[in-house]
Amino acid sequence: MSTNVSSENGGKTANTDGNSSVGDLNQPLRYSPAEIEPKWQARWDADASLYAAEGHGIGEKGLGKPKYYCLEMLPYPSGQLHMGHVRNYAIGDALARHMWMRGYNVLHPMGWDAFGLPAENAALKNGVPPREWTLGNVAAMKKQMRRMGLSYDWSNEVTTCLPDYYRWNQWFFLKMFEKGLAYRKKSKVNWCPECQTVLANEQVIGGRCWRHEDTVVEQRDLTQWFLRITKYADELLEGLDKLEGWPEKVRTMQRNWIGRSEGAHVDFAVAGRDCDDTDATAGPSTRATRLAQDDTSSFQTVKKITVFTTRVDTIFGATSVQLAPEHAVAKMFALEDDALRVKIEGLLAEQQKARESDALGAIEKHGVNTGRFAVNPFNGERVPIWVANYILADYGTGAIMSVPAHDERDFEFAQKYGLKVRRVIVPADVTDEEPALPYLAEDDAVLIGSGSWSGLGCVAAQEKMAAFAKAKGFGTPTVTYRLKDWGVSRQRYWGTPIPMVYCDSCSPDEPMPVAESELPILLPEQIDITQTNGSPLGRVAEFVNAKCPKCGGKARRETDTMDTFVDSSWYFYRYTDAKNSGAPFDSDKANYWFPIDQYIGGVEHAILHLIYSRFWTKVMRDLGMIRNDEPAERLFTQGMVIKDGAKMSKSKGNVVSPDLMIERYGADATRMYALFAAPPDRDLEWQEEGVAGISRFLGKVYRLTTKFAGAARTTNGGSRKGSAEEQVLLRKLHQTIAKITQDFDGRWHFNTSISSIMILVNEITANEAAIDAGEISPAVVSEVLRGLILLLASFAPFFAAEMWEQIGGEGVVFRTAWPVADAELARENEIEIPVQVNGKLVTVVKVPFGSSEVVVKAAALADEKVKARIEGKTVAKVIVVPGKLVNLVVK
């Protein structure tokens, strides 16, 4: 193809400047992304097998090559790519193309996390059906992605809102139900009044909805579906230690989220009223029993309070028992005592208020004395029972033993209310001063005043005392988690219908799974989703009415839909076999590709998506579908894109549109800038002038390449020896190859990769006159230009394709093997050695590469500046670091 065709009239492009040099053969042609990029995009679309990173499965073309699964997190189809996406995909695409050139069979797929609330909101606002709105957005974003030149394998595209995908959500749900991993329970749930639906714990951030920062989440009692993620709590925790390719930050966040703590349950018997302790283990008073009768709960049976503690070794220091205001025993006491009830209700009201102002953590500790007592089973001591606002109802048992001497919060509380403080732990080293209270140490501490346990080390005591409690039947060693089962029910329309029915005649409250053969349970379209309480599907008769799988009679369908995080928990498995209509995927295919070699996305998914998908992987493994324990070998979390010091957001009005950047500077310059402006793991400040700089750089490469294309076409390079200028160019080329290869293998600091390419280009520019004069052979020019273009291929693919064609490169540039750095050519002949005197730089001496210590030292001492500096002084010591520096210590 003629080089002139694409660029002859560059004047009408984005870089328009009234270029008047058309037809002037001495004037190099101008870089015009507006012409180059659409041209190559059209070719790539026409021949995906050559240009897309279409992974080839087992038994296909990929055989014999090692596999590489490169994955970026799938986007929500909002309709517009933002800079965060651009950055994410620029990183992933550079890697995919690089691994491709390194000879791997690369899978690099893309899809759409297409269920969710915005589609419903758009429907309500504009009257467009959610499906239509969503698929329209998918088309728009796919167009943007193509425009960016991303190498996705569209033959395995996944769209989660389509029945061929979500039917498998339903299928998994049935499997989990079968295994007891999906269950229904009535519970207090987080309700977002704005979304009109429940939220998982993970979706509540600081008491507010993850999608609506201004909306306080309410607590409601609802019967909901849960997935038993807690069954895998230990494995999810232990697995983190093995995920060495994951950022420490993400692993720490998940550890904290799982929140495992080892401890013990200990039963404190509830004593009778006031001083009536004749029967400490007797049931509550008859009055309580009577009052409780109109309540269906089991107050009558409450004879004890089970506390959870991680420090059972301090139990002799327990001077009260503290209950959460919601605790059943607190409720029981409240029924007996109106004054107490008012106070407890006061605590609850205050909690609710604090939650609304997002000040739950800052609330001052206080509580009420119930006037009742509990009995410490270890020493028989009666201690008062309090209800306190700092006790969490949903952690542990909602009740604690308060040990003021050895717990900060208990200490603060005891000080406020004048409760007893009794020290039962002291440092093992008796020479130490008695430490101030509260004293928290356990490793080097021993028990005192603890009966027969006194003298034991804390850690040993914890184990022995818990075992003792178990033997005596008033306690047990236990493990508590912060992690809760995953509530997946949503009272929304635009999600996967939960494949369950309830039969009116068999058992109205007993869910029954639909038969697998009935899947998919289709989400009805064209329905009214006007926002009111409850599930929109509940008002669609055709949907609700079903047949009972047991008796064949009338049954009602479950009308809640699944949390959209279900969709994204396993989508990357579907990529390996996206068209399979008989199973979620073929196990052999998944086992070939998994685990994902590199997963790339934002750190905001550190908890939600990344813990759910780890859970799902373990479930699928236990179903025998896959072999891997974890979804991804390596995880990379890129930094945010910042503008004017703040994260880009509509509300701040600092959004930079990728479309605008592409229009002005081209996709290549835009994505290359996203890699150049900062290391990928750090936040990136978007500066348009920087994009312009990259565009100028590409223009320079364009000018040089087109100018010397003729030389490059005549030979394939291969020149190894030559003039000094030739050697300088080849050396710089091979140094750059080595540097970039290293960057991809290691730190991914593509900002320095690109900078090294710029240095190479500056070197070519510096030798431009020599090339013009024919002092550098075409073979060398060819080798350098070919290498340069191959190095650029991962970062600026449209540009590289065009340049490759211009220099007459064979085949597809991305299918060309990655160049291998020649260490011999890369080596410097002469190196500069800094010479210091007493650690301060004095001069730099040149010595041949590989000079011995003696030679380097002699060169340093022979230097005039050095001589002047040490004149009249004694050289006490000479430090020579071969290849690095010389330091003279003088006195």
Partner RNA sequence: GCCGGGAUGGCGGAACUGGCAGACGCAGCGGACUCAAAAUCCGCCGAGGGCAACCUCGUGGGGGUUCGAUUCCCCCUCCCGGCACCA
**Would you call 669 exposed, middle or buried from its count of C-beta atoms within 10 A (0-12, 13-18, 19+)?**
buried
Which of 14, 758, 770, 826 contacts RNA by CB under 7 A?
758
Distance of alpha carbon 690 from alpha carbon 54, whole angstroms = 33
Interface map 480-499 toward RNA (x if CB under 7 A): x-x-----------------
Closest CA to 465 of 401, 509, 528, 516: 401
The size of the interface with RNA (CB under 7 A), counted in residues, is: 84
Pick between residue 687 and residue 719 the one whose CB is nearest to RNA.
Answer: 687
Q: Which of 308, 439, 570, 585 binds RNA (CB under 7 A)?
A: 308
User: Which of 77, 263, 513, 717 touches RNA by CB under 7 A?
Assistant: 263
Please give the C-alpha separations between residue 17 and each of 14, 365, 698, in angstroms, as whole numbers: 9, 70, 17
Candidate ranges 333-341, 571-579, 684-692, 802-810; the one touching RNA (CB under 7 A): 684-692
Q: Which of 606, 825, 799, 834 is nearest to 703 (CA)?
A: 799
Of 866-885, which residues contact RNA (CB under 7 A)? 877, 879, 881, 884-885
Q: In the set 700, 707, 713, 720, which binds RNA (CB under 7 A)?
A: 700
Residue 170 vs 203, nearer CB to RNA: 203
- List C-alpha distances in Å: 749 to 744, 754, 787: 8, 9, 20
User: What is the C-alpha separation between 795 and 800, in angstroms, rounded?
Assistant: 9
Identity of the residue, 569 or 887, whose beta carbon is nearer to RNA in the bound complex: 887
Which among 566, 570, 639, 636 has a CA at the least distance from the CA of 597?
A: 636
How far apart CA 38 and CA 13 sit, in angstroms, is 12
Please select the residue that binds RNA; options are 215, 591, 752, 777, rule is CB under 7 A: 752
State the sign of the Cα–Cα–Cα–Cα dihedral 201, 205, 209, 215: positive
Residues 842-861 that bind RNA (CB under 7 A): 842, 844
CB of 246 vs RNA, minimal distance in Å: 12
Residue of 273, 283, 838, 861 interacting with RNA (CB under 7 A): 838
Segment interacting with RNA, rule: CB under 7 A, options 105-113, 132-140, 266-274, 671-679:
671-679
Query: Among 633, 749, 770, 858, which residue sits at the site for RNA (rule: CB under 7 A)?
Result: 749
Shortest Cβ 879–RNA spacing (Å): 4
Q: Angle at CA 690, nearest 5°, toward 687 and 695?
A: 135
Q: How far apart are CA 130 and CA 493, in angstroms?
A: 9
Site for RNA in 3-62 (CB under 7 A): 17-18
Stretch that binds RNA, among 116-124, 238-246, 628-636, 828-836 (CB under 7 A): 828-836
| Sole window of 58-66, 78-86, 308-316, 619-627 interacting with RNA (rule: CB under 7 A) | 308-316
Concatenating the DSSP letter of every residue in 730-790 gives HHHHHHHHHHHHHHHHTT--HHHHHHHHHHHHHHHHHTHHHHHTT-S-HHHHHHHHHHHHH
CB of 134 to RNA, least distance (A): 27
- Considering only residues 63 to 92 of the shown chain, the ones binding RNA according to CB under 7 A are none
Do 428 and 460 contact (CB within 8 A), yes or no? no
Q: Interface with RNA by CB under 7 A: which range of 34-42, 528-536, 760-768, 815-823?
A: 760-768
Phi, psi at residue 858, to the nearest 5°?
-60, -45
The span of 371-379, 448-456, 688-696, 781-789 binding RNA (CB under 7 A) equals 688-696
Helices in 666-687 by DSSP H: which ranges?
A: 667-676
Please state whether 625 falls in left (phi above 0), alpha (psi between -120 and 50) or beta. alpha
Cross-strand pairs, 830: 848
DSSP letter, residue 1: -
Task: Compute the distance between CA of residue 74 and CA of residue 109 in angstroms, rounded to an integer.
Answer: 9
The token pair at 758 is 């710029």
Tokens of 847: 């010595």
Question: Of 457 and 679, which has the nearer Cβ to RNA?
Answer: 679
- Identify the residue among 64, 127, 361, 872 touching RNA (CB under 7 A): 361
Draw the binding track, 340-359, toward RNA (x: CB under 7 A; -: no contact): --------------x-----
Q: Which stretch binds RNA (CB under 7 A): 32-40, 70-78, 744-752, 788-796?
A: 744-752
Near RNA by CB under 7 A: residue from 39, 131, 212, 696: 696
Measured between alpha carbons, how far apart are the two ends of the chain, in Å?
Answer: 71
* DSSP-based three-state secondary structure for 105: strand
**Which of 183, 175, 240 minimizes the C-alpha distance to 485?**
183
Nearer to RNA, 310 or 369 (CB): 310
Rounded (to 5) percent helix, strand, coil in the chain: 45, 20, 40
* One-letter amino acid of 188: K
In this structure, the strands spanning 158-159 and 182-192 are unpaired
Of 12 and 143, nearer to RNA (C-beta) is 12
Of the residues 194, 356, 685, 863, which one makes contact with RNA according to CB under 7 A? 685
Span 765-794, contacts to RNA by CB under 7 A: 765-766
Q: Which residues lie across from 831 on neighbouring strands?
A: 847
Helices H / strands E in the chain, number of each: 29, 34
Establish if 664 lies at the interface with RNA (CB under 7 A).
no
Contact 320, 307 (CB under 8 A): no
Q: Which of residues 795-814 bind RNA (CB under 7 A)?
A: none
Q: Which stretch binds RNA (CB under 7 A): 107-115, 449-457, 693-701, 723-731?
A: 693-701
Residues 315-334 that bind RNA (CB under 7 A): 324
Closest Cα to residue 670, out of 650, 653, 684, 683? 684
Q: Any residues with CB less than 8 A from the CB of 390 and at least 6 apart, and which?
A: 322, 363, 365, 367, 409, 413
Smallest separation (angstroms) from RNA to the CB of 864:
11
Instruction: Decide: 151 and 814 in contact? Cβ < 8 Å.
Output: yes
* Min separation Cβ 14 and RNA, Å: 13
- What residues from 603 to 642 belong to the interface with RNA (CB under 7 A)? 603, 607
Beta strands in 294-366 (DSSP E): 304-309, 320-323
**41 vs 756, beta carbon nearer RNA:** 756
Stretch touching RNA by CB under 7 A, among 257-265, 335-343, 468-476, 792-800 = 257-265
Q: Which is nearer to RNA, 252 or 714 (CB)?
A: 252
In the list 230, 580, 751, 777, the residue contacting RNA (rule: CB under 7 A) is 751
Helix (H/G/I), strand (E/B), else coil: 501: strand
- Of the residues 128, 253, 858, 870, which one makes contact with RNA according to CB under 7 A: 253
Query: Which of 299, 386, 665, 697: binder of RNA (CB under 7 A)?
Result: 697
Q: Render 614-647 in DSSP notation, one character per residue.
A: HHHHHHHHHTTS-S-SSSBSBEEEEPPEEETTEE
Among 42, 339, 841, 875, binds RNA (CB under 7 A): 841
The verdict on 261 binding RNA (CB under 7 A) reads: yes
Backbone region of residue 57 per phi and psi (left: phi > 0; alpha: psi in -120 to 50; beta: other values): beta
- The nearest distance, CB 673 to RNA, in angstroms, is 8
Residue 476 beta carbon to RNA: minimum distance, rounded to whole angstroms: 14
Instruction: Please name the residues in contact with 763: beta carbons below 8 A apart, sequence gap of 6 or more.
Output: 728, 729, 732
Scanning 617-625, 720-728, 759-767, 810-818 for contacts with RNA by CB under 7 A, the matching segment is: 759-767
Three-state SS letters, 601-613: EEHHHCCHHHHHH
Which residues inside 187-206 make contact with RNA, applying CB under 7 A?
205-206
Q: Which of 687, 715, 719, 777 binds RNA (CB under 7 A)?
A: 687
- Which residue lies nearer to RNA by CB, 3 or 201? 201
Closer residue to RNA (CB): 134 or 695: 695
Near RNA by CB under 7 A, which window of 166-174, 505-513, 531-539, 689-697? 689-697
Binding residues among 379-438 for RNA as defined by CB under 7 A:
389-392, 395-396, 398, 400, 407, 409
